[in-house]
Amino acid sequence: MMKHHPVPDPAEIPRPWKSRGLRGWCIRRWSRLLNDPSRLRDETGNPRDRQWIGSHGERIAARFLQATGHRILARNFKRKGGGEVDLIAARGRLLLFVEVKTRGRHGSVRPLDAVTPDKQRLIERGANAWIRKLGHRDMPWRFDVIEVWLEEGRRPAINHVRDAF
């Protein structure tokens, strides 16, 4: 049975901008992805499709991780035979395998709820393939989910769920 999490008010989501160094400060301060209002319609006024919104959410999540002191090692890592990870990041020796879920703010279901046990197994297979590619397993890693809420004309709201599964 799926566990449902309450949908937080985007205004109450903390912005953990406790980044390390000048680079993180610059990203936080001047990143258009993190600070500009969302434009969920194209130049002709048509709504963006789900694929565009999903990849836009992944770009926002990657910039968020960079602003909080992480290095992005890979995006959309796929393993032959199944297994995928949206973002692979590192902070020191810690590896993060990150699933990004993007939704509109008006939704009643929290993005975290979309990471089902089947999806978790797919992410775990991708993570195992990445770790095998490294050639050793003697480093800490964890599985995170980054929730991104978008609303036309407003800054994206971001919630980083650590150790999500």
Residues 147, 112: Cα–Cα separation, whole Å: 7
Q: 9 exposed, middle or buried (CB, 10 Å; 0-12, 13-18, 19+)?
A: exposed
Count of other CB atoms within 10 angstroms of residue 123: 23
Contact 158, 146 (CB under 8 A): yes
Sequence-ordered list of residues with C-beta below 8 angstroms from that of 153, at least 6 positions apart, any chain:
37, 38
For the chain, which residues make up each domain, given as ranges? 19-161
- Per-residue model confidence as pLDDT tens digits over 73-128: 999 999 888 899 999 999 999 999 999 999 987 777 889 999 999 999 999 999 99
Amino acid letter for position 110: R
Q: Flag whether the pTM goes above 0.85.
A: no
Residues 9, 94: Cα–Cα separation, whole Å: 30
- What is the domain class of 19-161 according to CATH? alpha beta
